[in-house]
Chains A and B, each alone.
Chain A
Amino acid sequence: MRISRTDFLRILLPGVVAAACLLGSTGCKPAEDGGGTAGGGSSASASGDEIKVGVYVSLTGDTSTFGTQSRDGIQFAVDELNAAGGVLGKKIVLDIQDDQSRPDEAKTVATKFASDPKIVAVIGEVASTLSKNAAPVLQRAQIPMISPSSTNPDVTKIGDYIFRVCFIDPFQGYVMAKFARENLKLSNVAVMRDQANDYSVGLADVFKREFQKMGGKITADVSYSAKDSDFRSQLTQVKGADAIFIPGYYGEVGTIARQAREQGINVPLLGGDGWDSDKLVAGAGGPGKALEGCYFSTHYSKDAKEPRVQEFVRAYTEKKGVPPASLVAQGYDAMMILADAIKRAGGADRAKVRDALAQTKNYPAVTGDITIDEQRNATKSAVVLQVKGDEFQFVTTVSPTGGGDAAAGESAATTAKAE
């Protein structure tokens, strides 16, 4: 059968028609912004009396809990800023977009932000994989992006417009290894990691390396899947260790802990900021049950003495009825640091805001004093908390610089390179 062009057209046409419909709506670039993707740097003028900030988080899908909390924190910060008269006399307006916990959607949302000249800066994503997918687009469009809580070291390596206001995994892994080795004086620790979760795998690798470097021994390193609910098989393998490091999310940690106790494993369990949730204790069977006395590292403690933390916790609890989770505080900080940078930049110009962000020094944030370093990561301390009843009790602060902890930053930098 011979290819006749009309037949072929007939088949391709629906696609063409649909595409035409798509383009017909608002497809074409506005004439004044015909310069392509690059060079959008200074096109963001502070038009009118608004400053528009893009937010992309997961409101649906696997990680929607995280996204919702971050959004609440950001929104809370904006409400506070606007109630106080806005930034530079202008109201902050959020453009909140849901990326459905999907990397390609995150990229699409970033592309949408990139073609909106009114967007001054973007705050987003919690999950590192999603941040990594969206960041290159924003970098190319030269829009400053602040991740409130992506801890994977690769995120900010994408470019000089990508920032974060949290510490990175190598530091967190180091903190927990140091805490286990020096404070708890442990020498035999087992590791259980969520093999499909890059956060968990990254943290487990760093912990393992740092702990061994400090002279400790890793007795077992097993993988589990968070989608599972039976961890007894893996637990059988980690029996006998002095402690178990489980860098997973709070959703499965409670289950693992209960099954561990049931199997007669009564050693302390250690974790990272993925544990930090008011649901953690409920998942472990309630206060005083399976996770009692266990430790995890995280970004802030809501029991911190600083008045600014107390005030934030009080105001947020009053408004929302629940105390702010760590992710809420981080979202709040991201927005506040951005507002501070816009203030210092003296206007909503993207390039100037970027420069101002890069110069952030000792900003008194809720989650600690934040300084943005040359790699655009936040230099800030981590806290170790202990589960006590229904509460997380502050145990110690591990700071990245100064005194005996000087090695931390250095070590973090080297491991970051090794990643």
Chain B
Amino acid sequence: MDQILQQLINGVQLGSIYALIALGYTMVYGVLRLINFAHGDVFMVGAFVGFYSAKALKVAEQPTFVGALATLLPVLLIAMAACSVLGLCIERLAYRPLRRAPRLTALITAIGVSLFLVNGCQLLFGADPKFFPQVTPTGEAATIRMGNITISKDQMVMVVAAALLMAVLTYIVNYTRMGKAMRAVSFDADAAALMGINIDRVISFTFGLGAALAGAGGVLFAALTYAKILPIMGIQMGLKAFVAAVVGGIGSIPGAMLGGMLMGVAESLVKGSPSWGGFEPSRFADAVAFILLIIVLLLRPAGLLGRYAPEKV
């Protein structure tokens, strides 16, 4: 029981990162009907920008969590700004000229952008892994123990930060003019254009917003899970986050959050389950995401919270 609870906690933390990235996929898909394959790599760029700005700002271990958050905030903002610029550039240079092209063409371009970012970063930063300096306090003070369950404060910070970002996003989408425009474009782009909405601006804004979230995800991920920062780190994360977006119903913002959490929890449970005889479920953790995906899609073709749009003749 304790084990399962512990895995649930681990899963929520993992899921919050998936959700942050998944949001970018889902928003772009909403307005553009495009799988932005390069999105995972924007996450990677965010981690790199975070790493170098942390180095430039000489970030060091802080005695308290509040102090750590205060130190991380400028790093987070720099990475978010850099990533949203990157997102805008990608949209302007690679995707906008293809807006009327067949979907497959746009998808190939997205793959091309992804390859470009990965290999470009490899050239720029080398293939050697980088590690974020320790910011949060370490040792016994860093964890909360309840019986056999351990919750690290890092995990809590991450979940809370992700939740805050998602709350801000929800506000933007639901209560601002731009958010309203985004929803309109997502619902029917042509009609929105007729209503006087500047579609190009909305799409640019969406890309920038999604990329900023991915950048924030990258920094949080690198700083709080201590993961190695590598040019290829975005591929696997991006793929899983994308699957999360599809499971939740692509185009749906609450769906992306739900899908991310679901994926994180499912993966943690499988990774943490003990072996039965010779069979070790943890070996199959990489496949869990996709098995979940296939099951959900077969039962609900548009994802859990997706809107099923019947084909118009």
Contact = CB atoms under 8 A, between A and B. Distances in A.
Assess A/B contact in the complex (Cβ within 8 A): yes
Interface of A: 60-62, 64-65, 68, 195-196, 220-225, 227-230, 232-234, 236-237, 250-252, 254-255, 258-259, 261-264, 279, 282-283, 285-286, 289-290
A230 B128 contact: no
A263 B2 CA distance: 14
A15 B228 CA distance: 44
Given A60-B122, A264-B143, A223 B226 contact: no
Nearest to B285: A225
B280 interface: yes
Given A224-B271, A236-B7, A229 B131 contact: no
A262 B271 contact: no
Contacts of A258: 226
Contact of B283 (A223, A236, A251): A223
A279 B13 contact: no
Contacts of B267: 233
Given A65-B126, A230-B225, A259-B226, 19 more contacts: A61-B127, A62-B232, A64-B127, A195-B283, A223-B283, A227-B236, A229-B227, A229-B233, A230-B10, A233-B10, A234-B282, A236-B6, A237-B282, A254-B131, A255-B225, A259-B225, A261-B138, A262-B152, A263-B152
**For the side of the interface on B, what is the size category?**
35 or more
A255 B227 contact: yes
22 contacts: A60-B127, A61-B127, A65-B126, A221-B280, A225-B285, A225-B286, A228-B236, A228-B285, A229-B221, A233-B7, A233-B10, A233-B267, A233-B271, A233-B282, A236-B7, A237-B3, A255-B225, A255-B227, A262-B150, A262-B152, A264-B143, A279-B128
A62 B119 CA distance: 11
A65 B7 contact: no
B296 interface: no
Interface string B191-216: 00000000000000000000000000
A285 B6 contact: no
Given A224-B271, A230-B13, A251 B7 contact: no
B196 to A, nearest CB: 45
A251 B228 contact: yes
A262 B10 contact: no
B7 A254 contact: no
Given A224-B282, A225-B285, A262-B142, A236 B10 contact: yes
Interface in B134-163: 134, 138, 140, 142-143, 145, 150, 152, 154
Given A255-B225, A261-B138, A234 B272 contact: yes
Interface of B: 3, 6-7, 10-11, 13-14, 119, 122, 126-129, 131, 133-134, 138, 140, 142-143, 145, 150, 152, 154, 221, 225-228, 230, 232-233, 236-237, 267-269, 271-272, 274-275, 280, 282-283, 285-286
Contacts of B286: 196, 225, 227
A222 B280 contact: yes
A252 B229 CA distance: 10
B228 A255 contact: yes
Contacts of B228: 229, 251-252, 254-255, 283
B14 A230 contact: yes
A164 B221 CA distance: 40
A300 B118 CA distance: 34
Given A255-B225, A264-B145, A286 B133 contact: yes
B73 to A, nearest CB: 21
Contact of A221 (B7, B140, B275): B275
A264 B150 contact: yes
Contacts of B154: 262
Contacts of B275: 221
